[in-house]
Each structure stands twice: as structure tokens, then as C-alpha cells.
Amino acid sequence: RICQRSHTNMNHFVVVVAILILFDDGVTGNEVVYPTLVESRDGDGDKVVRINNDLILTLRRSDFLGRELITSYTRNGELVHEPVNSAVFGLHEDPQHMSSVLLHQLQHGVQLRGLLTPSLYIEPLYTMERSDGGRMAHRIYKVRNDLPIGKTWESLDVSERSYLWGPKGVQLPVTIAVDVGVVCTYDHRQAFKSDEEHMTYVVIFMRSVSLRFTGIIPRIKFRLVGLHRATENETKYLLRTDKTVESPVIDTSYVSVDGELALERLRAFFNKSATASHPNPHIVYLITKQSNIIDYTGKEAYPVPGLAFPGGICTDYNVGMGWDDAEYYLGIEPAVRLFAHLLGAPWDNVTKGCEWKDGFIMGNYMNLTPNAYKFSECSKEGMKETLLKRLNTSMKLKEGGSVDTDESGETVCFESPYSSMESVSDKLPGQVVDGNKFCQYVMPKTGYGNIQLCGDDYINKDWNYDECLTRCCHSGGWWKLYQQIPYKSLDGFKCHRSKKVCYAGECVDPHTDVSKYW
């Protein structure tokens, strides 16, 4: 059943969608595979990886993350910001298959974690025996029913320098930069063993959401710039889970969330947390495990998996919230629709070419047709009109010499406050990333022991001194070594037991002019 409702609040509409998503009962492993690196083109970062006989991916480095991801949390009443160098994630993508994976090159083969397709999740099996060629075993899980992708992601034959003309001569760039900030509730974070594991999940989740917007004009280039992990008290404040529900359509045995109030509190919360190092993004999205989100407005309360202000991008109403299971990425579909609402996409209805039954993203996408991963022309037009309006307002604000909001709450848009942060440091990733932290990010789920950079206590005589490999160890008590895995080093990491450093896969003397290696 798919239903929709809307209402007016402070001259804005809150659009609510309830979606019954068709998933398999229980997610079980489908197949153990040994991914093979068929080709690596280091010049452009592309890697051709054979997953099995049926799936070959061309994975490219993703620009979804900037140089750093700003994480934040509250400690002793004070907001703490911690930047994480994005190189540790190894985020790659294949838009044709809508793949979003964390890829780390090993001494033999690759390690993958993430979504191969919207239906298939892959993760490494550290303890399983490797292939004859030393390739790491992985397990593929089916996390949702298959939807035919179709020929959706053909490249756009349009210059990055081109512009789309709007009413009265307003120029809309073909590529629009949209900065996204995420707030995760306490219960969502607690579903993971560590901050590192939770962070990698959120990165994959959000990149998978943004890939659904590939192939439309203007290009919407999302970038995740901030992640706040809410405390238990902050979560209680945001979700207000103490309200009594009285409705014949709601199961009152579950904790309920006042959805509209949560959006209002999210607006105030994120505005308060904005600082010079953590500016307000264009869109703020709250992820929660609470599935009983309630729309209390109107004559009858309704349970929904998410809410958002349509057209809220670059305004004071730039917030949305949605449910996620915190395990199998089941909140991606609601998030895609809510992001589209924030960008101004309306529901498909009875307009020819944009009918609900046509099965586009903003319609009945569970018809299981290739349209399920496409936006209708009505959705595209709605997003384009909203972006044109925001651009026009931004131009007026800049012409007036003001970067403050206008009376409607709109702000200067399409100018990322994070763009200037790209050149903050000329250091290489390995010069700013701690080796132990690197190992904890690339091996976030082991099930036992500690994860750390292999030290002198675990030296193996077969390890070469001059090699661009970072060896991560699983260890237990009394210096018991479970396993060590050699990963391709980040540029700037020290070569193993050597004074040299890694540049483009070679061990060179420090202070070497690295330009000749690229």
C-alpha cells in the first residue's frame, strides 16, 4: 500500500509518504566469491573488478566525499568536531550498476564492502581460506528484491561549462553542488560495534541515495560534508518518543515519533550546531531506526517511514528524516524520495507520462519496471524549477551584498562553504592518517580481537622492507596474532620497516618531488 498526505505549515508543505517495501523475509547469504582485479588504471583511478561470472564492475573513485568528512558529537555538553580524512574510506562507484563500495587494494586482489547493485551487498570474509592466488573471500547478500535497472545511466553529452536557460535569462549550471549533512540517532549508532563501522555504513548509504539522481539535467552533485552522532538525550529531544498515540491505523505497542515536531526540532538543532568548521549544508537528513514515525496533523494520525519539506533545499526548511534498519540499507528507497521532495519533485499523479502507475521513483515504483530507478519528466521539471528559483534568489542576495537569508528563509545556494576547505592542506593522506585508525576503518567488522597496525611483535621474515603495503593485524590477549592482511598503502604512509615513504605504489625517499610519479 502506498499513500500520501500533505498539509500547510508556516507557508510550507510537509509531504508525508508511507511505503510498504517488498523485501525478502530474512536476508541470507547467496554466494561466496573471490573478486578479481582485472585492470587498474591508476591515472584516472578506475578499476575493473570481476565479482563473478555474471557481474563485472568498472569502479571509479567517488567525489562524493571532499578532502575531509566532518564528524561531530556532544561530550560534557560541548559540541566536538573531528575531521576524518576521506582517503581511509576508499569510496568507489559504478553508476551503471548503481554500485557504491569501499574498495581497498590488497597485496593480492581487492577488498570490497558495500552495495554492488541496489539488491546485492558484499562484505569480506577475513577468516575464510583464500583462493589459490591469494584473493580474499567475500560473501554476497541479497538485501531486497531485484528491480530491473534498464538503460538508465547513459552518459550525458553536455559540457560542464554549459548552462540551462531559465525564465528571464537566469542561467542554471549543468552541475549543481549540493552539500548534505546527516544526523544519526542514538539507536542507529548503537546498532554498530564502533564509530568507524557506523561511519562506513552511512557513507555507503548516502552515496547509494545520491546515485539514484544520476542521469538527470541539471546534474546534482551531492557531497556528504557532515555527520553528527546524536546522544541518547539529543535523540529523545529530536524524536519526542513520549507522546501518546490514538489512532485505529497505528500499532500503539511500538514507540512512536511525532514526525512534524521532529522536523522542526531538527531545524533548530542543526542551526545551533553550525560553526565555522561545520557550516550549514544545503540539505540535512536525520536517520533513525524508529520505524513508527507518525504524521499527527489532519483528522487521523498516520504511520510513515519518512517526512520532508518539499522544495526545502537552501531554505530554513531544508530538513528531512527517514527510517533505516541499520543493517541492510533498507532506508535507501524512502531517503531517495525524500531527497527528491527537498529538491522540489512532486508526486506522480494523473499527468500523462507521469502517472502513478508508470512506476517511476515518485510513483508506484514497486511495479518492478525499469522506471523504478528513474524520475519522471514531472519530477525532473519540479526539481529544475526549484533549483532555478533558488539560484535567482541567490543572485539577488549577492547583488545586494548580503549572504543572510531573505524573508522566506532562502539563502545563497550552490556555493559550497566547503569548497575552500579542499586546499586547506597540501599533505598527503598517509601524512595525516594514523596507521591504527586506517586499519580500524578498512577492517571495521572482524568479530574478535583488536585491530591495529602490525608492529615489531608480529614481524614475518617473508615481509619485504621496501614495500608499499600497510599490514593490519587482528590480535588478542598475550600477543596472540589471529591474522594479518596487507593493504595497499595510502600515499604518504611509511614503507614497511623503512625510512622511505609510499608515493603511487613506490617506496621513495622523503621530500622526493612526487610530480614525476603521477
Rounded Cα–Cα distance for residues 184 and 224 (Å): 13
Three-state SS string over 400-446 comes to CCCCCCCCCCCCCCCCCCCHHHHHCCCCCHHHHCCHHHHHHHHCCCC
Grid coordinates standing for 404? 543572510
Taking phi over 0 as left and psi of -120 to 50 as alpha, with beta for the rest, 114 belongs to: left
Nearest to 210 by CA among 384, 64, 86: 64
Residue 5 has pLDDT above 60, yes or no: no
Q: What is the pLDDT of residue 34?
A: 94
Q: What is the pLDDT of residue 112?
A: 95
Residue 266 has pLDDT above 70, yes or no: yes
Grid coordinates standing for 17? 509518504
The CB density around residue 511, as the number of other CB atoms within 10 Å, is 7
Top CATH class, 2-25+147-422: alpha beta
- CA distance from start to end of the chain: 54
Residue 20 has pLDDT above 50, yes or no: no
The CB density around residue 99, as the number of other CB atoms within 10 Å, is 28
As beta bridge partners, residue 283 has: 180
Q: What is the pLDDT of residue 152?
A: 37
Are 360 and 373 spatial neighbours (Cβ–Cβ below 8 Å)? no
The CB density around residue 19, as the number of other CB atoms within 10 Å, is 19
Q: What is the pLDDT of residue 295?
A: 62
Rounded Cα–Cα distance for residues 68 and 225 (Å): 8
Q: Kindly state the helix (H) or strand (E) to which residue 194 belongs, with its residue range.
A: none
Residue 226 identity (one-letter amino acid)? G
140-169 tens-digit pLDDT: 988 876 554 443 333 333 333 333 444 444
Query: Where in the chain are all domains bearing CATH 3.40.390.10?
Result: 2-25+147-422
The beta-strand segments (E) located in 289-377 are 293-295, 302-304, 306-308, 319-323
DSSP class of residue 278?
B
Rounded Cα–Cα distance for residues 340 and 384 (Å): 11
Rounded Cα–Cα distance for residues 280 and 271 (Å): 7
The more confidently predicted of residues 114 and 409 is: 114
- On the 0-12 / 13-18 / 19+ scale of CB atoms within 10 A, 319 is buried
Q: What is the pTM of this model?
A: 0.78
Residue 334 identity (one-letter amino acid)? P
Lowest mean pLDDT among 100-109, 272-281, 328-337, 414-423: 414-423
Q: Kindly state the helix (H) or strand (E) to which residue 338 belongs, with its residue range.
A: helix 332-342
Grid coordinates standing for 430? 598517509
Task: Give residues with Cβ within 8 angstroms of 381, minimum separation 6.
Answer: none
At residue 73, φ and ψ (nearest 5 deg) are -160, 165
Task: Give residues with Cβ within 8 angstroms of 152, minimum separation 6.
Answer: 214, 215, 370, 373, 374
Identify the band that residue 110 occupies on the pLDDT scale cut at 50, 70 and 90. Answer: very high
In the chain, % of residues over pLDDT 90: 27
412-463 tens-digit pLDDT: 576 655 444 443 345 677 877 888 888 888 887 655 567 888 876 666 656 6
Rounded Cα–Cα distance for residues 287 and 335 (Å): 9
Tally the C-alpha atoms within 13 A of residue 452's C-alpha that lie toward its C-beta: 13
The CB density around residue 148, as the number of other CB atoms within 10 Å, is 11
344-400 tens-digit pLDDT: 999 898 788 898 888 889 988 676 677 888 899 999 999 999 998 888 877 776 665
- On the 0-12 / 13-18 / 19+ scale of CB atoms within 10 A, 217 is middle
At residue 22, φ and ψ (nearest 5 deg) are -90, 105
Lowest mean pLDDT among 312-321, 323-332, 387-396: 387-396
Rounded Cα–Cα distance for residues 105 and 420 (Å): 30
Span 475-482, mean pLDDT? 57
Residue 206 has pLDDT above 90, yes or no: yes
